[in-house]
Structure 1
Amino acid sequence: MTVVDCTPFAGDLRALAASLPRVPRADLYAFLESAKAAAAGLPAGLVAELDSFNAHGNQDGYLLLRGLPVEDDEALPTTPNSTPAPVDRPLLVMEAMLGAVGRRLGLHTGYRELRAGTVYHDVYPSPNAHYLSSETSEVLLEFHTEMTYHTLQPNYVMLGCSRADHERTAATLVASVRKALPLLTAEQRARLFDRRMPCSVDVAFRGGVPDPGAIAQVKPLYGDPDDPFLGYDRELLEPAGPEDTKAVDALSKALDEVTEAVHLTPGDVLIVDNFRTTHARTPFTPRWDGRDRWLHRVYIRTDRNGQLSGGERAGDVVSFTPRS
């Protein structure tokens, strides 16, 4: 597990959070510009870890920042039960951390069809949530590379924890292609590499159509054959034909074998390399008492993998185009 202990920096980081605008959603562009300026003052040890991960990634496919400042549970608002967050909600410390750390990595991005195009997402359990939704709780949220079917998929998924689940049993599962690749045969790798396969899309991107079918084409492995990127969704990828199905099954098995479980606790930020991993979340039991699990999610794009063309700003909202 790749963990960066941030407890020695907690005082400096709390001061950094206090320097940012108090109501981020009132002018998100201005807030994220302030976060970029604040990112220049991040502790040198943290900056070195972030820059190395941004430039090279790592074998685990994620970076876990642990011990960041966060409000005491009693000082936090109740866990949300609706989305999006109110425009006038005051800044939370974890939102400040996602702002500054995210700006060190790249540009915060909203997706027009998802969560009303908002950039900061509250992630919380919701009764009767769709099984593909992050708001599920009592069922497994299956492995997926976030928006692998989207031409502008995020380079990073960042999850910040303000409040853990009561029993602290919920785990974010991460599986890295760099660890899984050696478990595949040369024939399996060749079958998966640069091979377009039909893929459905999440409910938010279906344009109101209950089931438009596999409207995207996704390559399970692509890029450098010796160090490939991963495009994988256990629920939505639909290989056609027995040979493709067998190869995807082998990839699934390899990813399961290298899976790591991360139990997020208050003050954690998990940065997932979304081009080299797939991630999931194990079930947990909410109590519906206002103190259920509360994460904050942002998506970051960088100038790698063709995700930026020039002129973009942190806080931009992009529209859906399926991979073809």
Structure 2
Amino acid sequence: MASPIIDCAPYREELLGLAGRLPQVPRADLYDFLDQAGELAEDLPKGLSAALDSFNAEGNTDGYLLLRGLPVDPSELPDTPTTTPAPLDRPLFVMEAMLALTGRRLGLHTGYRELRSGTVYHDVYPSPGAHYLSSETSETTLEFHTEMAYHVLQPNYVMLACSRADHERRAETLVGSVRKALPLLDERTRARLFDRRMPCCVDVAFRGGEEDPGAIAEVKPLYGEERDPFLGYDRELLAPEDPADKEAVAALSQALDDVTTGIKLEPGDVLIIDNFRTTHARTPFSPRWDGEDRWLHRVYIRTERNGQLSGGERAGDVVSFTPRR
């Protein structure tokens, strides 16, 4: 079985050259920035292009691709942000460029109107008092979730680029792949979960200002092809009511735990998560609030697969929330 880790160190100079050809203030005209990234993505190194294209076409058993050894920003990287969104005039960081180039090889960068002020690029950093469902939490576990499984326009990929790791190198991004978990489920459990709509709550950003609107969406834990299904799972938000459904979801939850892979992101890493075949989480870490805390960049990518594009979309589009039903 091929490794999901791609050594990009041999491509550093070539990738820096491509990054240097991008507009250096991406948010000044994000559409133009991502259009140019799409053109430059055709010139990515052959080994990297092949890995991305294969993952995009077929996925893999692990459910993720880790690009390791990418070029990083020099030592004068600014302090880790403490507010969001980023200023429109902020210069391009190398890891943001890597997300642009590799992401455009896969599909279209997408923003979600209700999330992070509708921005496409997200800074992910620890924040004091963050909601336990937020990516800005740090000292508690961010539990397993398929990103926006409750959203009709769920992203195909979640991409995380690391500019700065946590001080103690404790934080792990956990990935549980349905392709690994499925063989651990008996036929009865698979049948119960497959194509069965279950109530699902939504993240705070999508609640329309209500503190707790309840389960306003419906999610199928397994769907698609029975032998190689897609996954819709959220440990905090999926809310089955039938006792048999609860039992089946608990079995799925345990199977995902049993096949979990932990990834400690390092500066120069880009993690690409197949958001239709995995669930992911993050373990706790201890921020120091000293300007050197963990700093990731996140983008969401949609592709033509799974009905996420209908035609005419552009990289940089921002979409509104429609719950799955």
TM-score class normalised by the smaller sequence: over 0.9
* In structure 2, C-alpha distance between the alignment counterparts of 1:314 and 1:211, rounded to whole Å: 32
- SS in structure 2 of the partner of residue 40 of structure 1: helix
Cα distance, 1:26 vs. partner? 0.2
Cα distance, 1:37 vs. partner? 1.1
* In structure 1, C-alpha distance between the alignment counterparts of 2:153 and 2:107, rounded to whole Å: 14
1:67-108, CA deviations, whole angstroms, 9 ceiling, x for partnerless residues?
000113x31111000000000000000000000100000000
Structure 2 match to 1:312: 313
- SS in structure 2 of the partner of residue 237 of structure 1: coil
* In structure 2, C-alpha distance between the alignment counterparts of 1:76 and 1:322, rounded to whole Å: 39
Give the % identical residues. 76
Structure 1 match to 2:22: 20
* In structure 2, C-alpha distance between the alignment counterparts of 1:314 and 1:2, rounded to whole Å: 26
Cα distance, 1:115 vs. partner? 0.1
1:124 aligns with 2:120: no
1:229-252, CA deviations, whole angstroms, 9 ceiling, x for partnerless residues?
000000000011110000000000
1:163 aligns with 2:195: no
* In structure 2, C-alpha distance between the alignment counterparts of 1:202 and 1:219, rounded to whole Å: 17
* In structure 1, C-alpha distance between the alignment counterparts of 2:130 and 2:162, rounded to whole Å: 20
Cα distance, 1:313 vs. partner? 0.2
Cα distance, 1:31 vs. partner? 0.2
* In structure 1, C-alpha distance between the alignment counterparts of 2:229 and 2:184, rounded to whole Å: 14
1:38 aligns with 2:40: yes
1:167-206, CA deviations, whole angstroms, 9 ceiling, x for partnerless residues?
0110000000000000000000000000000000000000
1:185 aligns with 2:167: no
1:13-69, CA deviations, whole angstroms, 9 ceiling, x for partnerless residues?
011111100100000000001101110110000000000000000000000000000
Structure 2 match to 1:60: 62
Structure 2 match to 1:91: 92
* In structure 2, C-alpha distance between the alignment counterparts of 1:79 and 1:239, rounded to whole Å: 39
Cα distance, 1:213 vs. partner? 0.2
Give the aligned length: 323
Structure 2 match to 1:133: 134
Unpaired runs of at least 5, structure 1 = none
* In structure 2, C-alpha distance between the alignment counterparts of 1:172 and 1:282, rounded to whole Å: 7
- SS in structure 1 of the partner of residue 29 of structure 2: helix
- SS in structure 2 of the partner of residue 82 of structure 1: coil
Unpaired runs of at least 5, structure 2 = none
* In structure 2, C-alpha distance between the alignment counterparts of 1:85 and 1:233, rounded to whole Å: 28
* In structure 2, C-alpha distance between the alignment counterparts of 1:147 and 1:168, rounded to whole Å: 28
* In structure 2, C-alpha distance between the alignment counterparts of 1:236 and 1:242, rounded to whole Å: 17
1:80 aligns with 2:81: yes
Cα distance, 1:2 vs. partner? 1.2
Alignment of 1:278-317 (within 5 A): 278-317=279-318
Structure 2 match to 1:219: 220
TM-score by length of 1: 0.99
* In structure 2, C-alpha distance between the alignment counterparts of 1:211 and 1:71, rounded to whole Å: 41
The amino acid that maps onto 1:28 is: L
